[in-house]
Chains A and B, each alone.
Chain A
Amino acid sequence: MSMATPLGGPFTHSGASISRTMTLVMAALLPATIFGLYQFGWPAIFLFLVTVVSAVLAEFLALRMAGKPVMPFISDGSAMLTGWLIAMSLPPWAPWWVGVLGSFIAILLAKHPFDGIGQNLFNPAMVARTVLLISFPVEMTRFVAPMPLGSADAPGFISALEITFGLGSHFDAMSSASFLGSVKTQLGQAERLPDILASGYHPFALAFGTVSGSTGETSALFLLAGGLFLLATRIISWHIPIAMIITMVALSGIFHFIDPNHFLGPVMELSSGTFIFATFFIATDYVTAPSTPLGKLIFGAGVAALTFLIRTFAAYPEGVAFSILLMNATVPIIDHTIRPRIYGRTRKGVPIQHKPK
């Protein structure tokens, strides 16, 4: 179409912009990020920087290749946020090339082949995480126990450089499984859940985030605070988070009630892994989520149900990324079937009938 029409209204605007949205999301991520980086020290900080910078670089390259104007798109902040989200979902001591690869996969394979911002079907950060996990299972499951900056065991600046940019020689000694990973392994060895948990996992540690895991899965509480901030500023709507949390609580609650020896309860499921992170920061990604409230509820419930199934019955300890990608694929169908109700019409689109009072 051509837009040869005279300029129409409105001649006023709310002031919303993509960069404002992205900035607020980053602000919401900040507490959890700072806490995570503090916990995992210099190597995590380096990885974070590497990932963010390479995401912006990848965006720049992609825009140049597509012949699009670079400045307005780079400055919208979306690539930076993608890099940030990837950094949050990587093992904090992963080598630099994992971060670079992740960002390049996200931007160059998941975003721009679909014509860039607003068009991609799959969440770029989750595509990156999933491809990395399948391609480099060793690097992607090698976690460390928290060693806060300045603590005795924490690597200094120089040895951190070695960890992130070197060959990772003195890494193996320190590696430690993530919570869900170790629970899965031990359950596989026919142990009872209460015994496993008794050997040192405390729900509070999981919620606060003083356990091993990716930067974005440690502090459920800080992430929750960020999520509430996004809800309060109306950057995200409540539909997806509530649907996810209720579904997860319901499913894990039922299974835990039936067999507490083998199934984690709702509190554990919510506070462990990247569930809360994904609930507020990944599943709510505008581009890859449905557009109607009802569609969002279905999407959220689907993500949580799949996550629970994968965590509980499949080979992988964590299932959020897979679940989100699977549900991303259903979004066009959801959006096609579930449309908002038009004023004065029924859901089917016929004018409503009025019963006289």
Chain B
Amino acid sequence: MKIFRISGGIHPKGNKELSAEKAIEPVPMPSVLRIPLQQHIGAPAVPIVAKGDVVKKGQLLAIARGAVSAPVHAPTSGRIVAIGRFVAPHASGLPGATITMRPDRRDEWGERLPALDPATAEPSALAERVGSCGIVGMGGATFPSAVKLNLRSRHALHTLVINAAECEPYLTCDDRLMRERTDDVFDGIRIMAKALGVAKVLIAIEGNKPEALAALTGAARATGDKSVAVVKVPTRYPMGSEKHLVQTLTGLETPARALTADIGIVVHNVATAYAVYKAVRLGEPLISRIVTVSGKAMVRTGNFEVLIGTPIHHLISHCGGHVEEPARLLLGGPMMGQPISSTRASIVKGSNGVLALAESEVPSGKTMPCIRCTACVVACPCGLAPFDMAQRIRNDELDGAVKIGLLDCLSCGSCAWVCPSHVPLVQYFNYAKGKLTAEQRAKHKQEETKRLSQFRDMRMDKLKKAKQEAMAKMMAEREAKKKAELAEAADEAKVTE
């Protein structure tokens, strides 16, 4: 298949050899599971259980709220011991609403949804199943998958792209999943294609995963399904960016501020496909995921099947702890992942990696002034001028930064990766984006207040007017009455005369 070139991008050291050959292993049951209610983009889920409740594995704990949200299920059987705020797996370390449960170690399934046969099920039923099983994009973006499977109603879709690029260094969880559970993954992909009603599926895998490529190619051949093509894409970061992946595969550039669906293409992560398989074929909600544990500060690296809600420290100690005090502890890959503020935080649906990087793996450059070398311009896959945006942000010219593309930035970090001056470019961009969102929110609030007060004024005006009108009417009536009485009296007088 013809591959199209995208501009920009970088070739960071993969470091995948640290875990690529380690088969997926289960993790012993932790003594406590802490399940955040916000594991997806959108509104947090709303709990329907209470402290003290005894729940079964797979039981619904919290329901989705609104159109963009996802429900949360019990990863095992046990007792709910708390519902409250707990440290969330965010860089901020701010607490979020969390259900805490104590496993009873019996791991008993509750009622499971009946299996669906994708051959006979309605596409909308498949999407609904994905939604009710709490599946979200598992590549890290955590967008509720059902919403993306329902795009058919509003867009003319023709292609499903499966993002199996796994372009972040260190991460091998998708690689292992494809190698070890090939048929299930492939089945999930075909179910998604069915739900979307597309005629063509492209599975994109970076060239540095030959085994996964071979496995899925074999699966495609075995089914004889000609509509599915497995495509080897160049090993180049950020190949996993939706729009760039689509362009690499089809040559189509997604317009700014638009979705790939606007050009007829939907992108789903390969791990999501596996979750879809489980939801549709087995009726199992999303209660576990594959996580890569890696980094030279780890005693043992590997790929693990981890229950959602497992404390990060449990996973780390299962891997033997650290060789040395890690210089960096990250959730996700080293390019776009986040520092872990507390290892008491949990593995959630979007957690693809726990990395403990040793001193030797962490860049140590001092930040120097920008020398306008334009390496960042060359590296940016979005055609931006990062040094210029950073300069404007530094001068507090947020509007200027927006004008030259700040909101088109992916925060992929390619620019900062190449910068010889170690300018923390992404930090500038994230700071500015955060500030803009806050400003917008404040403006929104202000407008809302204004609207409300205007509304009140209007109501008062109306009331006043109504009162006045009523008064005037009364006066008029009284006047008329008086006149009539007078006239009557006069008439009477006339008569008597």
Contacts and interface: CB of A to CB of B under 8 A. Distances in A.
Contacts of A254: none
B374 interface: yes
B361 A14 contact: no
Contact of A9 (B336, B373, B419): B336
Contacts of A78: 371
A286 interface: yes
A12 B408 contact: no
A9 B387 contact: no
B374 A291 contact: yes
Interface in B321-339: 328, 330, 334-339
B37 to A, nearest CB: 22
Interface in A1-26: 1, 3-18, 20-21
A345 interface: yes
B338 A343 contact: no
B396 interface: yes
Contacts of A6: 91-93, 338-339, 341
B334 A12 contact: yes
B256 interface: yes
Contacts of A342: 256, 382-384, 405, 408
Contact of A343 (B368, B369, B382): B382
B200 to A, nearest CB: 12
A16 B396 contact: no
B208 interface: no
B136 interface: no
Contact of B384 (A16, A340, A353): A340
Contacts of A256: none
B327 to A, nearest CB: 9
Given A16-B418, A339-B385, A286 B257 contact: no
Nearest to B258: A351
B196 interface: no
Interface stretch (A111-119, A162-170, A173-181, A300-308): A111-119
Interface string B331-353: 00011111101000000000000
A18 B421 contact: yes
Contacts of B428: 1, 3
Contacts of B328: 11
A118 B365 contact: no
Interface in B368-400: 368-375, 377-378, 380-385, 387-388, 393-394, 396
B124 interface: no
Interface string A338-354: 01111111000001111
Contacts of B224: none
Nearest to A4: B431
A12 B363 contact: yes
A237 interface: yes
B256 A15 contact: no
B159 to A, nearest CB: 11
Contact of A11 (B362, B373, B380, B431): B362
B416 interface: yes
Nearest to A71: B366
Given A1-B393, A9-B426, A118 B258 contact: no
Contacts of A340: 377, 380, 383-385
A139 interface: no
B96 interface: no
A292 B408 contact: no
B427 interface: yes
A109 interface: no
A117 B13 contact: no
Interface size class of B (residues with CB under 8 A): 35 or more
Interface in A300-357: 335, 339-345, 351-354, 356
Contacts of B388: 291, 335
A343 B408 contact: yes
Most buried by B among A12, A76, A287, A339: A12
A289 B370 CA distance: 14
B236 to A, nearest CB: 14
Contacts of A67: none
B255 A17 contact: no
B464 to A, nearest CB: 48
A18 B419 CA distance: 9
Contact of B427 (A5, A17, A289): A5
A118 B339 CA distance: 31
A17 B337 contact: no
B217 interface: no
B336 A118 contact: no
B404 interface: yes
Main SS at interface, chain B: loop
A291 B252 contact: no
B421 A7 contact: no
A72 interface: yes
Contacts of B92: 6
Contact of A286 (B337, B357, B371): B371
Given A76-B368, A339-B385, A342-B382, A3 B431 contact: yes
A72 B369 CA distance: 11
Nearest to B10: A14
Given A11-B330, A13-B365, A18-B371, A351 B257 contact: yes
Contact of A291 (B362, B385, B420): B385
A11 to B, nearest CB: 4
A323 B375 CA distance: 25
B434 interface: yes
A46 to B, nearest CB: 31
A325 B468 CA distance: 79
Contact of A7 (B91, B335, B375): B91
A304 B343 CA distance: 60
A344 B388 CA distance: 19
Contact of B377 (A21, A292, A343): A292
A6 B256 CA distance: 28
B305 to A, nearest CB: 25
B253 interface: yes
B171 to A, nearest CB: 12
Contact of B420 (A8, A16, A73, A119): A16
Contacts of A20: 420
B368 A18 contact: yes
B427 A10 contact: no
A13 B478 CA distance: 89
Contacts of A8: 91, 338, 411, 424, 426-427, 430
B363 to A, nearest CB: 3
A12 B358 CA distance: 12
B150 interface: no
B372 A10 contact: no
Given A9-B337, A291-B388, A343-B253, A72 B368 contact: yes
10 closest cross-chain pairs (CB), A and B:
A13-B363, A10-B413, A344-B256, A16-B420, A6-B91, A351-B255, A343-B382, A351-B256, A118-B369, A11-B334
11 contacts: A5-B427, A6-B91, A9-B335, A12-B13, A291-B372, A291-B388, A292-B385, A335-B388, A340-B380, A351-B255, A354-B252
Given A11-B357, A117-B371, A119-B369, 7 more contacts: A3-B431, A6-B91, A9-B334, A10-B417, A292-B374, A340-B380, A354-B262
